[in-house]
A and B are shown apart, each in its own frame.
Chain A
Amino acid sequence: MIATTGAGALLIIACMALVTLLVRFGGVFIMGLIPLNRRVEGFINGMAGSVLVAVLVPIALQADTAGRLALLATAVMMFWLRKPMPAIALGIAVAALYRAV
């Protein structure tokens, strides 16, 4: 336990910042120790897309109807135009409009 009086709080924050920085550096550092072969490249490639999906899962699960319609609109626009910015803009607009009505 560390008291949050005086410099204690800043010390705690500094420890948090250090841990977070080490994690930011850690992935690249660890990969530097592993020889890059086809299996490892396959692992990295598989991980790249699935991290995106894993970030999305709770967002989609916890979203209300407006949020889910926003995701649907984004997906439709991405299949149609394949341009992220209009797709995101439409998604946000759909959520805002649905909640306004």
Chain B
Amino acid sequence: MSTPVAPALSFAECRRGFWRLLPLSLFVAAFGAAFGLAAVQAGLQPVEIVVMSATVFAGTAQFAALDLWGAQVPLVPLLVTTLAINARMLLMGATLYPWLALVPPRRRYASLITLSDANWAMALNDLQSGRNTLGALVGGGLAIWLTWLAGTLAGMVFGGLIADPRAFGVDMVLGCFMLSMALAGRRTLRTVAAWVAGGVAAWAALRWLPANTHVVAGGLAGGLVGALWLEREP
């Protein structure tokens, strides 16, 4: 799987990644609008809401922060919650390592600044299917960041005036996208076994483990299957 050539990170590749992910970013805008509205209602100042969406750029963790928000905020529990919810990004980053290791350190880490679910999935799919480019990660990440920010602003300004995104099926964009990325990849008995282990572990974590641990649980379970069941020596 490791390629000797560093993946491309040209302006043209990033621009292509940007336009590929922009239509999918519709759901990010809807999610951002919901966050903007909820943040106003939680009592955050407009500047604080915009700064949070721009710098934290992690929807679920931001919503969790609103739950803890008040005149006083318990900093350590908030940071532990942020860490727990975003821990899945550790696994996502790790899966890109075989390719990112070939990129000089500064570019390697800079290309991870906008890492999130959708651009990770598309970039990984590209790299695994032999399209040796980080365009989806960087350009697509920028598309998601911009729509997240635009959505947040729209939610702050227009609030409840925005039509219910569910009526247009927008709430299912991420699910359909993730499913298509899973099915687009190369399937072997090994990968399917890792999926099943990951799915069962995620389901069990949803039932019995603390909230937001399911992605890490599923990822580690699938990883174990991959580590124990090796492909035959070439």
A55 to B74, CA, bound (A): 28
List residues of A (51-69) whose CB comes within 8 Å of B's CBs.
Answer: 51-61, 63, 66-67
Partner of B191, one of A1, A10, A12, A49: A49
Residues of chain B within 8 A of A27, CB atoms compared: 89-97
Chain B contacts of A61 at CB under 8 A? 203, 206
- Chain A 38-81 residues near chain B, CB threshold 8 A: 38-61, 63, 66-67, 70-71, 74-75, 78-79
Inter-chain contacts of A58 with B (CB < 8 A) = 202, 206, 214
Residues B185-234 near A (CB distance < 8 A): 185, 190-191, 194-195, 197-199, 201-203, 206, 214-215, 217-231
CB-CB < 8 A to B97: which residues of A? 27-28, 31-32, 36, 44
CB <8 Å contact, A100 and B93? no
Chain B interface residue number, banded: 35 or more
- If A44-B94, A45-B1 touch, whether A24 touches B227 (CB-CB below 8 Å) is no
Q: Which residues of B contact A (CB under 8 A)?
A: 1-2, 23-24, 43-45, 47-48, 51-52, 55-58, 61-62, 65, 69-75, 78-79, 82-83, 86-98, 100-101, 108-109, 112-113, 115, 117, 121, 124, 128, 166-185, 190-191, 194-195, 197-199, 201-203, 206, 214-215, 217-231
A-B pairs with beta carbons under 8 Å apart, 16 shown: A5-B71, A10-B47, A44-B97, A44-B223, A45-B226, A50-B194, A51-B92, A52-B181, A53-B218, A71-B172, A74-B176, A84-B180, A91-B176, A92-B168, A99-B166, A100-B167
